[in-house]
Amino acid sequence: MAVFTEVTPDQAQALLDRLRLGRLLSLRGIKAGIENTNYFVSAEAGEFVLTLFERLSFEQLPFYLQLMKHLAARGLAVPDPQADEQGQILFELNGKPAALVDKLRGGHQLAPDVFHCEQVGAALARMHLAGQDFPLHQPNLRGLAWWTETVPVVLPFLAPEQAELISAELAFQQQLAASQTHAELPRGPIHADLFRDNVMFEGLPGREQLSGFFDFYFAGVDSWLFDLAVCLNDWCIDLDSGRLDETRAAAFVAAYEKVRPLSGAEHRLLPAMLRAAALRFWISRLWDFHLPREASMLKPHDPAHFERVLRERIARPWHALSS
């Protein structure tokens, strides 16, 4: 259940009035999701999603919401935050920060094939290019600094061989981050969590078209290659073994490169970045699993999945060019 804070029809109507979106036709709580309160809002002016942010603060939100507005203005299929007459896009409802964004059409593609991967690869590259002139800056809050501070916190919950693996991988990534090749990686705003459940497709089975992507609340400025690695580790793997499906991965990278070719440094670091992306989600899943902050709000994902993915990426480094 993902309605932690109730919103009444009168409250929703007051927001619609402020945004000049006409009469409220229906208000429906969304069950999915574990972070925020979400409602589908049907209004005379269209279909929207109302989000009440349960953890993010008024200070943190402008980066995410303005990034979505920036990308939507450049033609990317991301939810556009609705603005009032003063241009404000962040509001307060029941004491929580709130925003109303466009509802994307379609549904998730949880068993993607080459065709879906190509579309996500191209969309990711378009997003990276469109974000280049985004003026706000926020680091990736789930980047190396967070891994370094969180690994010691989760270590006591791990078996000796897991503790050894996570510590060795963290040391490897710290060393990599200090290298000259890493400094050469192109950077900008990244989504950082573009998993299968954050992308929508619509259309007939076998011919689905990407209709948009959402959930920018882990976005931050980091290397574009890291974003690509996060995607490859979710869109292009066998979910049981964690093994990379090289056909899908090659198609994903080729579609990305049609829009933005990778540099030499990016090609060289891709195998290491696939490990970094696996480490990132292994740590966050361990953290959610062993140290739930508000237990009632969390249904943690399985950490063992990303431990398998990391072991796979170490055992079988994958270079996009090798095929």
Residues 102-121 that bind ligand ATP (CB under 6 A): 103-104
- Partner whose binding site includes residue 214, from ligand HSE, ligand ATP, none (CB under 5 to 8 Å by kind): ligand ATP
Could you give the string, one character per residue 47-66, with x where binding to ligand HSE holds by CB under 6 A and - elsewhere?
--------------------
What long-range pairs does 149-157 form, CB within 8 A, spacing at least 24?
150/283, 150/284, 150/287, 151/283, 153/287, 153/291, 154/283, 154/286, 154/287, 154/290, 154/291, 157/286, 157/290
Question: Interface with ligand HSE by CB under 6 A: which range of 72-80, 96-104, 280-288, 313-321?
Answer: 280-288
At 289 the three-state DSSP class reads helix
- Using the structure block, give the residue that is written with the tokens 């969390």: 298
Of the CA atoms within 13 Å of residue 317, those in its CB half-sphere come to 11
Give the nearest residue (CB) to ligand ATP.
33
Could you give the string, one character per residue 161-200, with x where binding to ligand HSE holds by CB under 6 A and - elsewhere?
--------------------------------x-x-----
Question: Interface with ligand ATP by CB under 6 A: which range of 99-107, 122-130, 262-270, 308-316?
Answer: 99-107
Could you give the string, one character per residue 198-237, with x where binding to ligand ATP holds by CB under 6 A and - elsewhere?
----------------xx----------------------
Q: What is the DSSP letter of 49?
A: E
* Helical spans, DSSP H, in the chain: 9-18, 61-73, 114-130, 144-154, 160-177, 180-183, 224-235, 246-259, 264-290, 303-315
- Partner whose binding site includes residue 301, from ligand HSE, ligand ATP, none (CB under 5 to 8 Å by kind): ligand HSE
Question: Interface with ligand ATP by CB under 6 A: which range of 60-68, 100-108, 157-165, 229-237?
Answer: 100-108
Residues 71-90 that bind ligand ATP (CB under 6 A): 79
- Using the structure block, give the residue that is written with the tokens 């693996």: 165
- Residue 301 near ligand HSE by CB under 6 A: yes
Look up residue 173 and give its two tokens: 């990534």
Question: Interface with ligand ATP by CB under 6 A: which range of 34-42, 110-118, 133-141, 177-185?
Answer: 34-42
Tell me how far apart the alpha carbons of residues 213 and 68 are, in angstroms, rounded to a whole number. 10
Least Å from the CB of residue 64 to ligand ATP: 11
Total residues contacting ligand ATP by CB under 6 A comes to 16
Amino acid at position 103, single letter: K
Tell me how far apart the alpha carbons of residues 273 and 282 are, in angstroms, rounded to a whole number. 14
- Partner whose binding site includes residue 36, from ligand HSE, ligand ATP, none (CB under 5 to 8 Å by kind): ligand ATP
Backbone torsions φ then ψ of 133, nearest 5 degrees: -100, 20
Tell me how far apart the alpha carbons of residues 115 and 182 are, in angstroms, rounded to a whole number. 31
- Residue 40 near ligand HSE by CB under 6 A: no
Q: Which positions lie near ligand HSE, rule CB under 6 A? A: 193, 195, 281, 284-285, 301
Residues at the contact surface with ligand ATP, assessed by CB under 6 A: 2, 30, 32-36, 38, 49, 79, 101, 103-104, 197, 214-215
